[in-house]
């Protein structure tokens, strides 16, 4: 659900799982199709996936649960999952490891999707067992250009006016110049939640 361009799908396919990619955006799914031509795709919202009752072992949502109508999406997952099946969500959340990264982020705060998703807990008891949680941290080296480019894919940038975008880019480029390095280390926390469909 919310399969997007298929980053999570990469690891599901690598495990030889049978995957159906559901996303309301045909253009996102076109990117997924280029990576995984054999994965069936459904242009649909997670709240109305069109999948048969009790047809799936798992409903997985990477970096998208907070976009959904949480009650409707939980009900839809409960309908589609077999008893004992799993509904699971995962988020990568950038950590602001130092003062420079905090200043960079302050230009346009990184949306904390997991915070917006807390409401899912309200609906889960009707269909699902208690939430199980897992988290970990990790880091990677990126070029200065990649560091900036990721912020430019975030929804607050995409919906900003042309003037606002130009101003944010000006401030970010000044900060990158001040930093001076070709590569930067990004730290992330990964949070995963899992619910089991009640029998
Ligand atoms: C950050 S992307 C998800 C990344 C993707 N899960 C991956 O592994 O590459 C967010 C996705 O949520 C999708 N989305 C937005 N509203 C949705 C809805 N109501 N139901 C399902 N997906 C939705 C968007 O079309 C977008 O593809």
Instruction: For residue range 40-72, list pLDDT tens digits in order.
Output: 999 999 999 999 999 999 999 999 988 888 889
pLDDT of residue 157: 94
Q: What is the pLDDT of residue 124?
A: 64
Q: pTM of the entire structure?
A: 0.88
Centre of ligand 1 from the C-alpha of residue 125, in Å:
25
- The mean pLDDT of 169-180, rounded to a whole number, is 96
Task: Calculate mean pLDDT across residues 27-48.
Answer: 97
38 domain-assigned = no
Quick check: is 87 in a domain? yes
Number of structural domains (the chain) is 1
Q: Does residue 4 lie within any of the structural domains?
A: no
Question: What value does the mean pLDDT of the chain take?
Answer: 92
Q: Whose CA is nearest to atom 13 of ligand 1?
A: 2
In a domain, 2, yes or no: no
DSSP secondary structure string, the chain? ---TTSHHHHHHHHTT----EEES-HHHHHHHHHH-TTS-EEE--GGG--PPTT-EEEEEEES-GGGS-HHHHHHHHHHHEEEEEEEEEEEEEEE--SHHHHHHHHTSPPP-HHHHTTTHHHHHHHHB---EEEEEEEEEEEEHHHHHHHHHTSHHHHTS-HHHHHHHHHHHHHHHHHH--SEEEEEEEEEEEEEEB--
Domain for residue 51, yes or no? yes
Domain that holds residue 53: 45-196
pLDDT of residue 151: 92
Tens digit of each residue's pLDDT (9 = 90 or more) over 86-144 = 999 999 988 888 999 999 999 998 766 666 666 655 556 678 998 899 999 999 999 99
In a domain, 20, yes or no: no
- Mutation test of ligand 1: which of 11, 59, 64 has the most ligand atoms closer than 8 Å to its C-beta? 64
> Ligand 1 center to residue 82 CA distance, Å?
23
Res 67: pLDDT: 86
Tell me, yes or no, whether 66 lies in a domain. Answer: yes
CATH code for position 143 = 3.40.50.150
Alpha-carbon separation of residue 64 from 2, 46, 73, 140 (angstroms): 6, 10, 11, 22
CA of 31 relative to ligand 1 center, distance in Å: 13
The reported pLDDT for the residue numbered 119 is: 61
Mean pLDDT score, 145-153: 93
The atom of ligand 1 lying closest to the CA of 8 is 8
On whether residue 14 sits in a domain, the answer given is: no
Pairing of strands 21-23, 81-95: unpaired
pLDDT for the residue numbered 110: 72
Residue 145 has pLDDT above 70, yes or no: yes
Pocket test for ligand 1, best of 3, 4, 35 (most atoms within 8 A of CB): 4
Instruction: List, in sequence order, every residue forming a beta bridge with 138; answer none if it has no partner.
Output: 188
Pick the residue whose CA is nearest to atom 2 on ligand 1: 4
């Amino acid at each position: 659900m919310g399969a997007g361009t298929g980053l999570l799908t990469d690891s599901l396919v690598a495990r030889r799982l049978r995957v159906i990619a559901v996303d309301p955006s045909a253009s996102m799914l076109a990117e997924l199709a280029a990576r995984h031509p054999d994965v069936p795709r459904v242009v649909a919202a997670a709240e109305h996936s069109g999948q048969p009752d009790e047809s799936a072992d798992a409903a997985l949502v990477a970096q998208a649960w907070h976009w959904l109508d949480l009650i409707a999406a939980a009900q839809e997952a409960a309908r589609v999952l077999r008893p004992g099946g799993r509904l699971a969500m995962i988020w990568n959340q950038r950590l602001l490891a130092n003062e420079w990264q905090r200043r960079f982020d302050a230009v346009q705060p990184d949306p904390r999707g997991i915070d917006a998703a807390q409401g899912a807990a309200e609906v889960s008891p009707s269909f699902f067992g208690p939430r199980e949680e897992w988290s970990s941290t990790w880091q990677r080296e990126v070029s200065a250009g990649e560091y900036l480019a990721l912020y430019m894919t975030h929804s607050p940038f995409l919906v900003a006016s042309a003037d606002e975008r130009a101003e944010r880019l000006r401030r970010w480029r000044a900060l990158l110049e001040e930093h001076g390095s070709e590569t930067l280390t990004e730290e992330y926390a990964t949070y995963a939640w899992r619910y089991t469909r009640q029998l």
